[in-house]
Amino acid sequence: MLAPLDPKLWSPVHAAHLLNRAGFGGTPEEIEALHSLGAERAVESLLAGAQPELPPEDPPSYAQPRDMQQERREREQLTEEERAMRRREAQKRDNREYLQFAGEWLRQLRESQTPLREKLALFWHGHFATSQTKVRPVFYLWTQKETFRRHAAGDISAMVKAMLCDPAMLVWLDGSSSRKNKPNENFAREVMELFTLGEGNYTEQDVGEAARAFTGYRINPASQQFRFVPRQHDDGEKVILGKRGYWNGEEVIDILCAQPACAQFMAQKFLRYFVCDEPSPAWQKAVANALKEEKMIVAPMLRRLFLSAAFYEERHQQIKSPVEWLVQCLKVLDVPQPPFHRTQPVLRQLGQILYRPPNVKGWEGGKNWITTSTLLARYNIAGQLLGIGGNLWGKGKGKRKKQREQKQVSSGLLTRMPETTRSSEIGLVQYFAAALFQEPCSGEALAAYCDFLKGKSLQSSAVQRQLLHLMMSTPEFQLI
Amino acid sequence: MTPHRFHGQPTTRRRFLRQTLLGAAVTLTIPVFLQKTFAAMESDAAASPIQTPTGRDGRILVVLQMAGGNDGLNTVIPYEDHLYYRARPSIGIPQADVLSLAEGLGLHPALKGLRGLYDDGALGVIRGVGYPNPNRSHFRSMEIWQTASDAAAVEKHGWLGRYFDHACAGADPAVGVAIADAAPQAFSAEEPRGITFNDPKQYRWAAQGRDDDADALYAQFNETEDADTFGGEGGGSIGALGERVISGLSARDFLQRTAVDASRTSAEVLAVTRKSEPITALYPRSALGTSLNTVARMIAGGMSTRVYYVSQGGYDTHRNQTGSHAKLLRDLGDSLQAFVRDLKAQGNLERVTVMTFSEFGRRVEENGSLGTDHGAAGPMFFIGGGVKPGLYGKQPSLTDLYQGDIKFNVDFRSLYATALEKCLGVESQPILGHHFPLIPVI
């Protein structure tokens, strides 16, 4: 399955597919730039942006750590009523900061010059699916997201170990409250079932034993950073998957990641994310082997995947995730970033809110993205991005009338349009098709779009927007 | 396909749909698929002598999922069993607070709503529901419940999906409605059916423009005056889509199919929910309350739906569960009580049965974080006008445990069989694969 692509076959269509899957798509110009590099250098350029470990960054203003110990001490001095008020204020602040965090991440996905790094960060978020509904401090969420970006294409076991010590994960799966004499099984179970091995590849006893090894991994309330508390750690002997020893949490993760089941499980997850919804056994075997051969390091496995001929046969077969869909819409239409209090409800309607996965298993993906209502939402939001049936930059409720009168937001795709494309129906359709589908329209679809334009002014922005909306309101546009 | 083919025929729903904007958008890319689809619809509708009973006249099942693994022992509480208090010294519900039912069992104090339903004779409690060789994974156990499979077997389709396949050929796609962000696995079927949405107000095509073809088509799409537009008598007028066309759907075909279903149902849903405004004063302002309110509006509006699916999440109470569990149960009881009152006022209560379930109960002994870890069997509730009130099954023993979990004594598929036969009026064996004894709760 990983037989390399014949370099002579490398075409703009291949470059477009690579950019769709290893990033969030691009404009015809960006695709041409990638194409001109040739297959190997194109893949290398994407990997180069994802590989180096990023230096730690200072948290932005909306994700500052707080001294929870101090806050608790202060709370104890307050009356019941004052405490309730504090709690409400804190909730409001957390929600406000979370909205900004989610909005800024969306912007980062769109604007990044290292799209594969961001695409992998989103992969890891789906894999270690953590939700803001339980993990409130935005500092935790931001820290976790930065860990995903930092180790994006690195060693899988290093990533799992980073999650063992990740404050958001310690809250999400109750590690921080697990006690030596009565360990909590939540993290131990999910690390095997969902993060490394898959159901059926471990026993209930393994879960119980691992839960002991994961005790003592906690959060320092004063700094909101990870800290190891030896007196809460069970340092006794454990048997994990038949291996006996005085294992600590990191060592248990090494045992898990060395299992053949881990390579298979992760291969399937990567395939479902980057290649196809239902990968064949041959695909799974090939990628699992590649992972093993590459010592469970992501980047070299991805290099082989992205340079394989079979990868390019999956073109236009995968349903875009809502985040992919929205980021790609924003990029292709080249409209300003809508404010985050508008993108959040949009993502809710589409069925994927950043840091609000449905559960710890993450989003099922594939066909599960599409229901009658999420498909209608895609069609409707595509319209709103073009000022049809709403406007994502307006103030919202109560000001509808004003909104309608507002000037439509400008789309770079429309303003950049060469004069010649507007001179014929086919020219206009194909200009949009190149941007939306990365290839020309043909046959009955082309005829239908041209038919729609008959007798209309091709110069009219309203007509152009309607055509774009129709072309985006198709099953075809949901696929990459 | 050629739209002209249908000229001269009376306006049928099918024809109408071919001409909608959404339909037009769909046909633009792969008309061959739709051509086949509509051809199959025509022939199936013509060939089918049976009109499937619909929710307009027949009975309705509402499935309520308590996601995360509800702590059954703190829901239906064995308050006379000292072993309960010994296993749960910190999180046990004090005897004085329990809302007593019978036989030394009572409801969690937050379940006043359910207790009220019990007094009104509208609540049946089935104790110790589970399955052999229980699995403690949320996802595997939920899959077992959703597909009604044995613990060792993997079943592709959902139990309600199999009901749609077996008993609802020729039915409208809205025969199953899930109020959710994603379609429940229970709906997955050989022939996908059932629609999913969260907010009925957003379940529509919202394009608007002026003075052009698209606008005209949009107006037609929103045309709700013409009764003929929404199918003939009984709601069973739409033919099924042929299996040949849709089995093993590719992503592309799946999208096509969903687009057709959306266009076929959205105007109806919108019209129905416009007929009666949500009764916000009655329901808790929670996701569950809102979902049940929506379901009640759809029942009041005469949707042809036979199965509704709603969900309440948050039951994975590993830590500090006392407050959070009480909050969940209060929401559950109050929402259900409001739903029953609403249906009673509509005169529809006799036709509707609610069945609750959760993927597992929790460990008998509390953990060190003032919570409970994943367990096995738990109670189920049946609520509605046709329910025979009381306690069913046997209360599981707190001494005879398996790996710290109570043992089941009623297979959950017995309750599915009961719902299928007594509520939906179909034979359960072809759907569930085996014969499961019915529980006389309906």
* Mean pLDDT value across residues A419-429: 93
Lowest-pLDDT range of A110-124, A209-223, B132-146, B228-242: B228-242
pLDDT at residue B9 tops 60: no
Instruction: Judge contact between B152 and B411, C-beta under 8 A.
Output: no
Say what the pTM is: 0.79
Q: Helix A443-453 crosses helix A425-436 at what angle (to 10 degrees)?
A: 120
Q: Count residue pairs from A and B with Cβ separation < 8 A.
A: 167
Q: Cα dist. B29→A419, A429, A444, A476, B26 in Å?
A: 27, 13, 7, 7, 6
Task: Give the pLDDT confidence score for residue A358 in this predicted structure.
Answer: 84
Per-residue pLDDT tens for A95-137?
999 999 999 999 999 999 999 999 999 999 999 999 998 899 9
SS3 A468: helix
Task: Give the pLDDT confidence score for residue B267 in this predicted structure.
Answer: 76
Cβ neighbors of A298 (< 8 A, separation 6 or more) are A120, A152, A153, A154, A155, A156, A270
Q: Looking only at Cα atoms, what is the longest distance across chain A?
A: 81
Task: Give the pLDDT confidence score for residue A389 in this predicted structure.
Answer: 81
| Cross-chain residue pair B318–A174, CB shorter than 8 Å | yes
SS3 B236: coil
Nearest residue in chain A measured CA to CA from B366: A182
Confidence of residue B214 (pLDDT cuts 50, 70, 90): low
Per-residue pLDDT tens for A305-346?
999 999 999 999 999 999 999 999 999 999 999 999 899 989
Per-residue pLDDT tens for B116-161?
999 999 999 999 999 999 999 888 899 999 999 999 888 888 999 9
Chain A contact for B326, CB < 8 A? no
Nearest residue in chain B measured CA to CA from A348: B181
For B144, phi then psi, to 5°, come to -60, -45
Task: Give the pLDDT confidence score for residue B425 in this predicted structure.
Answer: 93
Six token digits for residue B393: 């099954």
Nearest residue in chain A measured CA to CA from B373: A185
Nearest residue in chain B measured CA to CA from A369: B182
Residues in B touching A132 (Cβ below 8 Å): none
Spatial strand order of the sheet with B105-107 comes to B76-77, B105-107, B99-102
Calculate how close chain A gets to B286, using CA atoms only, in Å: 15
Calculate how close chain A gets to B86, using CA atoms only, in Å: 16
Closest partner residue to B206 among A361, A389, A466, by Cβ?
A: A389
Instruction: Judge contact between B189 and B161, C-beta under 8 A.
Output: yes
Compute the distance between CA of residue A260 and CA of residue B149 in angstroms, rounded to an integer. Answer: 28
| Cross-chain residue pair B203–A463, CB shorter than 8 Å | no
Closest partner residue to B29 among A178, A368, A475, by Cβ?
A: A475
Closest partner residue to B258 among A178, A361, A371, by Cβ?
A: A371
So what's the ipTM on this one? 0.90
pLDDT at residue B25 tops 60: no
**Mean pLDDT across chain B:** 79
Most confident of A54-58, A226-230, B243-247, B273-277: A226-230
Task: Give the pLDDT confidence score for residue B54 in this predicted structure.
Answer: 56
| Cross-chain residue pair A184–B371, CB shorter than 8 Å | yes
Task: Give the pLDDT confidence score for residue A468 in this predicted structure.
Answer: 93
**Mean pLDDT across chain A:** 93
Chain A contact for B360, CB < 8 A? no
pLDDT at residue B84 tops 90: yes
Closest partner residue to B262 among A349, A375, A383, by Cβ?
A: A375
- Which tops the pLDDT comparison, A61 or B256? A61
Per-residue pLDDT tens for A151-167?
999 999 999 999 999 99
Which of B:192-221 have CB within 8 Å of A? Answer: 195-198, 202-209, 212-214
Per-residue pLDDT tens for A350-406?
989 999 998 899 998 998 898 888 888 999 999 999 998 888 887 655 555 555 545
Q: Cα dist. A81→A85, A353, B311 in Å?
A: 6, 34, 34
Cβ neighbors of B202 (< 8 A, separation 6 or more) are A349, A373, A376, A377, A380
Residues in A touching B29 (Cβ below 8 Å): 445, 474-476
Compute the distance between CA of residue A372 and CA of residue A392 in angstroms, rounded to an integer. Answer: 22
| Cross-chain residue pair B202–A349, CB shorter than 8 Å | yes
Which of B:75-104 have CB within 8 Å of A? Answer: none
Q: Identity (one letter) of the amino acid at A68?
A: M
Compute the distance between CA of residue A46 and CA of residue A20 in angstroms, rounded to an integer. Answer: 12
* Mean pLDDT value across residues A176-180: 94
Residues in B touching A437 (Cβ below 8 Å): none
Task: Give the pLDDT confidence score for residue A394 in this predicted structure.
Answer: 73
Six token digits for residue A161: 């170990």
Confidence of residue B253 (pLDDT cuts 50, 70, 90): confident
Lowest-pLDDT range of A77-81, A461-465, B150-154: B150-154
Compute the distance between CA of residue B77 and CA of residue B99 in angstroms, rounded to an integer. Answer: 9
Confidence of residue B245 (pLDDT cuts 50, 70, 90): very low
